[in-house]
Amino acid sequence: MLDPILIDTATFTREKQHLCGEISLRQLDERVWSHELLAQQDSLVSFEATGGIDRWQRPFIDIAIKAELQLFCQRCLQAVNWSLNDQAHVILFVSEQALDEAMVADETIEGILQEAQTNLTSLVEDQILMALPFAPLHDVCAPVSAVRQDQDSDSPFAKLAALKSGH
């Protein structure tokens, strides 16, 4: 597992610092590289993180991740290419109460509690997990209904029904 990429949160956001790099999926936490949808664990993920202060004087980290991943198609279970291109605006809150109030006021906010140091590796891991599709599919896989029709014709019950109807 990769050593955490730690930043001084206050300095990073106040000085609007920028950090970018590449990480192999295999270097990330097991919850990422062993995810059931991943067909290949050796892909590289590039990330960019930029700090800042918003108009309400709240510190934030903008994080962007990109990768070309191989996921399992949920119809044929073969590998399907999928482009990961995700961006998040993560607001840092000084208290859990402030975080909860902001989340109630605006459900689209992504926020975390501000700490002296922020682990960018954990932010990248979380963004990857949140960005993965629920059910990746090939564009050309046969629809489920077509597969079921083929299976029904080979079914012993379908053959029995054909015998009963005289076909």
List, for residues 59-80, the tens digit of each pLDDT value: 999 999 999 998 888 888 888 8
Instruction: Return the closest-CA partner of residue 111 out of 97, 131, 129, 121.
Output: 97
147, 150, 154, 157: CA torsion to nearest 10: 80
Torsion sign across C-alpha atoms 85, 79, 2, 114: positive
Q: Which amino acid is at 71?
A: L
What are the backbone angles phi and psi of residue 160, rounded to the nearest 5°?
-65, -45
Is the model more confident about 146 or about 83? 83
Q: What is the pLDDT of residues 97-123, one digit of tens each?
A: 999 998 898 888 888 888 999 999 999
User: For the whole model, what pTM was predicted?
Assistant: 0.75
Sheet containing strand 59-72, edge to edge, reads: 18-24, 44-53, 59-72, 79-93, 110-113
